[in-house]
Amino acid sequence: MNNYKITNLKTKSSIYLNKEEKERFFIKNNYFKDGKYNYKIQNIKDIKNKKIENFLFMVVSVCIMAALYLGLCELFTLIDRITLN
């Protein structure tokens, strides 16, 4: 079953509805009025997937930065050994 987050763009209030409730909600309320959108609709599954992707991107970025830092330290150690001899 699909769940949706519907945000009113004027008042910035959010409500969470399933598919059937969303259809009934938009029968009573206009989604598009006077050339402007009144609501922003987001699928909850998409929001959760985006959060997971952002978290994984952050973890991978930190791992790459740590590997680069350790490689740089190793490079400085190598340069130091060569110049001291």
Q: Buried (b) or exposed (e) across 29-54, using 16+ Cβ within 10 A?
A: eeeeeeeeebbeeeeeeeeeeeeeee
Q: What is the model's pLDDT at position 33?
A: 77
Which residues touch 19 (CB under 8 Å, ≥6 apart)? Answer: 1, 2, 4
CB-CB contact of 44 with 5 (8 Å): yes
31-78 residue pLDDT tens: 877 777 889 999 998 888 889 999 999 999 999 999 999 999 999 999
Q: What pLDDT score does 47 carry? A: 85
SS3 55: helix
pLDDT of residue 80: 93
Q: What is the pLDDT of residue 36?
A: 79
Rounded Cα–Cα distance for residues 32 and 26 (Å): 10
- Residue 35: per-residue pLDDT: 74
